[in-house]
Structure 1
Amino acid sequence: MSSHRPFGLSVSAAAGGVLLLAVTGCSSADAKASVAVPGPPAAEAAFCRALAKELPDTVAGLERTGTEPESELTAAWGDAAIVLRCGVPRPEKMNDPQAQGIDANGVNWLFEPRAGDGPRFTTTYRKTYVEVTLDKRYAHDVGPLVDLAAPVKKAVPPSL
């Protein structure tokens, strides 16, 4: 990804609240999402452990649930409607000068649509990459990124 910011969309906390969809049918807090655990270098894993301590109990109105296997590098909310992985490899799509992204409360995210599912977002310009996948209920909703922006900013410093 080039040093210029091709991200044309900015989302504020107020706008994020407007974008939130009403999500029903969440599973119990005992449900665990099956999530592949990244294997970042030690320095990046330290940022991920710091992020794990900052993550909210709810995102987009969904309660945090466990992940399987349990890891400080992963988190989920709802019935895996929102899944976060910290320390993921740099997405190949970041090499595309036409890549799309957004800014949510000061955190830049690469946007990647996924066929038959909701989008995947990966932070840019940070010391480690944080990936958030949303299920199809969030196909047009970036509100969860607004809820995650403050913890990411606090725990994962900019790389610039």
Structure 2
Amino acid sequence: MHFLRHRRRPLAALPALAVLVVAAGCSSADDSGPVAVPSPGAKVAKLCRDLDGVLPAEVDGLGRNDPEPASALTAGWGGPEIILRCGVSRPPKMIDPKVATGDDPDAIGGEVNGVQWLMEKQDDGSTRFTTASRRAYVQVTVPADLDTAGVLTGLAPAVKKAIPEGIAD
């Protein structure tokens, strides 16, 4: 039986971390909150662990900086500005006929280096991309001030290597 790989944190740092969280009023220095970790089935979780093992150390010039809580199903680059979540549910827009015909201005489909993506503009100006036609849904959120093409180009080889083409469960 396989279990999700968790990045290890030194136990001695836990008391200091608790003091900092309380002193900071439960906020982080970069004002980013915790990232929701998906909870996919066993097959998708294995694919996501495989993806975590081949993700690049740098994307569009930003070094890897994974969000909290630590999980093989999430990754980040930058502050982290770029957030990847693997094993998410299929976005409702993915089955919306308006997206397929290009009639939805907030969601369109496209391909970058052999990986198909659904692109959805978010209210905060960021863009959320979700893989299509892959056995697991991989979601990447990119802030408005970053080059989305550079991000997707940087992630495409890892997605192609770890997440086979097909329909996600």
TM-score (norm 2): 0.72
Partner deviation per Cα, 1:103-150 (whole Å, 9 max, x = no partner): 010000001000122100000000010000011213x63210110000
User: Could you tell me whether the CA contact under 8 Å between 2:66 and 2:80 is conserved in 1?
Assistant: no
Deviation at 1:95, TM superposition (A): 1.3
1:110 aligned residue (99, 111, 118)? 118
**Aligned equivalents of 1:67 and 1:112: distance in 2?**
22
User: Which of the pair has more CA radius of gyration?
Assistant: 2
The offset of 1:33, in angstroms, is 6.5
Q: Does 2:168 align with 1:154?
A: no
**2:7 — aligned with what?**
none
- Corresponding residue of 2:150: 143
Task: Give me the whole-angstrom Cα distance separating, in 1, the residues matched to 2:87 and 2:42.
Answer: 10
Q: How far apart in 2 are the matches of 1:107 and 1:150?
A: 9
TM (normalized to structure 1)? 0.76
The answer for the alignment partner of 2:97 in structure 1 is 97
Q: Give the conservation status (yes or no) of the 8 Å contact 2:128–2:141.
A: yes
How far did residue 64 of structure 1 move? 0.4
Letter aligned with residue 130 of structure 2: T
- Asked if the contact 1:64/1:76 (under 8 Å) is kept, the reply is yes
Q: 1:67, CA displacement in angstroms?
A: 1.6
Question: Equivalent residue of 2:85, what SS?
Answer: strand
Q: 1:119 aligns with which of 127, 139, 144?
A: 127
The aligned amino acid for 1:60 is: D
The percent of aligned pairs where both chains have the same amino acid is 47
SS in 2 for 1:34: coil
**Conserved 8 A contact 1:33-1:66:** no
The aligned residue for residue 17 of structure 1 is none
Question: How many residue pairs end up in the alignment?
Answer: 129
Task: Work out whether 1:42 is the aligned partner of 2:42.
Answer: yes
CA contact (8 A) 1:33 1:80 kept: no
Residue matched to 1:28: none
Note closer, same or farther for the CA distance 1:59–1:33 as it changes in structure 2 (3 Å cut): farther
Alignment partner of 1:157: what SS?
Answer: coil
Read off the aligned partner of 2:120 and give its amino acid letter: E
Determine the C-alpha separation between the residues in 2 that align with 1:98 and 1:67: 33
Moved more, 114-123 or 82-91: 114-123
C-alpha RMSD of the superposition: 1.6
Unaligned 5+ runs, structure 2: 1-29, 100-107
